[in-house]
A and B are shown apart, each in its own frame.
Chain A
Amino acid sequence: MALTESFDAPKLYFSSRTRWQPVEIVFWLATLLPFALFPDYLILASQIAITALFALSLDLILGYAGIVSLGHAAFFGVGAYAAGLLSKYGWGEPITGLVVAATAAGIVGYATSFVICRFRHLALIMLTLGFGLMLEELANSAGWLTGGFDGLQGIHTWKLLGYFEFDLYGYVAYAYSLVVLFVLFVFARRLIHSPFGLSLRGIRENYVRMPAIGAPSRAHIRTIYTISAAMAGIAGALLAQTTETLSLDSLGFERSAELLVILVLGGAGRLYGGLVGAMIYMIARDRFSGIEPQYWYFWIGVLLVTVVMVLPNGILGGLAKLSARWSRP
């Protein structure tokens, strides 16, 4: 009896970590509420879902592999412009648009990953920032292609699956963004519970030890950086397709910085952190900018300082601590 116990328990631990928790199911069911309760806010809900996907892509590299990036909007922008240009030049089918965007962003991510995988910490911040700025100015100077400062005009997204027209209220936009978010979330969730995901956590926990256990850290980093870039590209494509407008700030520094804020706010390395962070940040921004159109960044600053001081592991980190204390007798 003791024998079977000792041999099964190790495996049980891993399978219990993989199982969907009730709170997760509740969370995803709750994402359907806006359709019924807030039909006037579906456009906002769609943008939240897109930002959540973007934050999830950053979480894969920052929260799991410990790669800090201040230039992740570059991949968002590449995906957005890839999908936008595809549509402008005659192919507005949304799903293939996503595939093209993911491929384009993935290629740029793969190319830069060879530099990224050689550095850590502060150097990474500078590098990703540098890549981001380069791309932003390239897009700005290539006005003939990107529309430059005026933005890309003439995007038209075809009916989803040839049937659902993108409406003004955002019903289709939100449903589309939410389904893509969910599918890629399931993918990310599988990934972090795989042997590869465990190796990523090893890189985050102790980068120096990894070669001493025979792990090719750089190859791992190149893989996850490419996957993350492709995912960010899909988020960018969703924005271009659902809003049918596109400007340079989709790949600007501010968007990268904002994304980092969102992930830190929600809690990095927890999958749901980026989702919760996106929700709180976007709703707060919507409210604050309504009350104080000029100074709303002040309140975002207050929110950020408070969260970092009171909850160093983000909102989800704080909740996890609270529930751990609660479940203990």
Chain B
Amino acid sequence: MTAPALATRGLAKRFGSLVVAEDIAIELPAGVRYALIGPNGAGKTTLINLMTGMLRPDAGAIFLGEGEITALPPDERVRRGLVRTYQINSLFPHLTVLESVTLVVCERRRVAQTWWRQLAAYSHEIDEAYEILAALTLGPACHRVTRELPYGQQRLLEIALALATRPKVLLLDEPAAGVPREESKDLFAAIAGLSRDITVLFIEHDMDLVFRFASRVIVMVGGRVLVEGTPAEIASDPRVRAVYLGKGHRDGALQRSLSGLAP
């Protein structure tokens, strides 16, 4: 049996008396599209921060493929194939779109330490960066300065930067946050079109998108994994319904989706 692409065991983190992650054990088989859902403050982004090394866990272990990565610094995890995007755009405002992605490709190919050759000589890297952009419909915008891009294209660039690292596992923190509904469908279509070699976990609040694009769903509540299963199982799970129904109107979208999907 092959090892899961990404796994955690007994992962825990607290800030003072506030428990943000407790005994989190998940396994993501290679190639699966996972959605991570849960009410605000459930610890979804914290989990991404723990897995990518932006936060140190108090206890537990993280595995990428066969190897343990719990103690590795964030940039080393990225080089091994565990990559994330951000809920709030974290781009390079004054670089052009192409420069930004070329930067990532050069770092991955380990040529970023060379200062005696001009960038223009790295045509492989530049071509690869351009192809990634073209695949995400950003080709025509490649010479624009990042800060001048429309918001929707900035969200795409956020994903392009992650893809340029050639991830094995991609963690997307609300990739469509702030994007109008019609555009967010296109964005998820781009995500759905990613190579099946990439394992994807995404945080998303729009349940229509979750049920359309995820093959499995993890529900988190209060820093713990409540339940994990197929979208249909999640929709009919009484515990999930209790969590969301108990919260009243704020997660009305989920309520509607759940009642629509339940048998």
Chain A residues near B (Cβ < 8 Å): 6-7, 9-11, 13-15, 17-18, 190-191, 193-199, 201-202, 205-206, 208-217, 219-220, 223
Contact = CB atoms under 8 A, between A and B. Distances in A.
B115 interface: yes
A205 to B, nearest CB: 4
Contacts of A209: 86, 90-92, 161
A11 B115 CA distance: 18
B191 interface: no
B119 interface: yes
Given A195-B112, A195-B119, A198-B119, A215 B139 contact: no
Given A202-B95, A205-B94, A210 B115 contact: no
Interface stretch (B12-20, B35-43, B76-84, B221-229): B76-84
A15 B119 CA distance: 8
Closest 6 CB pairs of A and B: A214-B78, A15-B120, A205-B92, A196-B115, A211-B74, A14-B120
A10 B103 contact: no
B75 A199 contact: no
Contact of A215 (B98, B112, B117, B142): B112
B98 A208 contact: no
A7 B75 contact: no
Contact of B75 (A13, A205, A214, A223): A214
A212 B115 contact: no
B23 interface: no
B86 to A, nearest CB: 8
A18 B100 CA distance: 17
B54 to A, nearest CB: 8
A195 B126 contact: no
B252 interface: no
A205 B95 contact: yes
B219 to A, nearest CB: 26
A11 B120 contact: yes
B103 A198 contact: yes
Interface in B69-122: 73-75, 78-79, 83-84, 86, 90-96, 98-100, 102-104, 106-108, 111-120, 122
Contacts of B162: 213
B75 to A, nearest CB: 4
Contact of A194 (B83, B91, B116): B116
A212 B107 contact: no
Q: Among the interface residues B95, B161, B162, which one has the most CB atoms of the partner chain A within 10 A?
A: B95
A10 B104 CA distance: 15
B91 A195 contact: no
Contacts, number: 140
A217 B119 CA distance: 19
Contacts of A212: 52, 54, 74-75, 78, 83-84, 86, 90
B98 A10 contact: yes
B165 A213 contact: yes
Interface of B: 52-54, 73-75, 78-79, 83-84, 86, 90-96, 98-100, 102-104, 106-108, 111-120, 122-123, 125-127, 129-130, 134, 139, 142-143, 161-162, 164-165
Given A198-B106, A212-B52, A212-B74, A13 B115 contact: no
A116 B94 CA distance: 24
A208 B86 CA distance: 11
9 contacts: A10-B126, A11-B120, A195-B106, A199-B112, A201-B95, A212-B74, A213-B162, A214-B78, A214-B79
B84 A220 contact: no
A208 B107 contact: no
A206 B90 contact: yes
Contact of A18 (B52, B90, B114, B118): B118
A14 B36 CA distance: 40
B75 A11 contact: no
B200 to A, nearest CB: 16
Contact of B165 (A195, A206, A208, A214): A214
B165 A193 contact: no
A113 to B, nearest CB: 15
B142 A10 contact: yes
Given A212-B74, A213-B103, A213-B107, A190 B115 contact: yes
B107 A14 contact: no
A6 B131 CA distance: 10
Contacts of A210: 75
A213 B104 contact: yes
Given A214-B78, A220-B113, 9 more contacts: A10-B142, A17-B119, A18-B120, A194-B115, A194-B116, A198-B99, A212-B54, A213-B161, A213-B165
B167 to A, nearest CB: 10
B108 A194 contact: no
A212 B93 CA distance: 16
A201 B75 CA distance: 17
A189 to B, nearest CB: 10
A190 B118 contact: yes
A198 B120 CA distance: 12
Contacts of A9: 143
A199 B78 contact: no
A14 B101 CA distance: 13
Contacts of A217: 75
A210 B74 CA distance: 10
Contacts of A194: 114-119
Nearest to B147: A205
B113 A214 contact: no
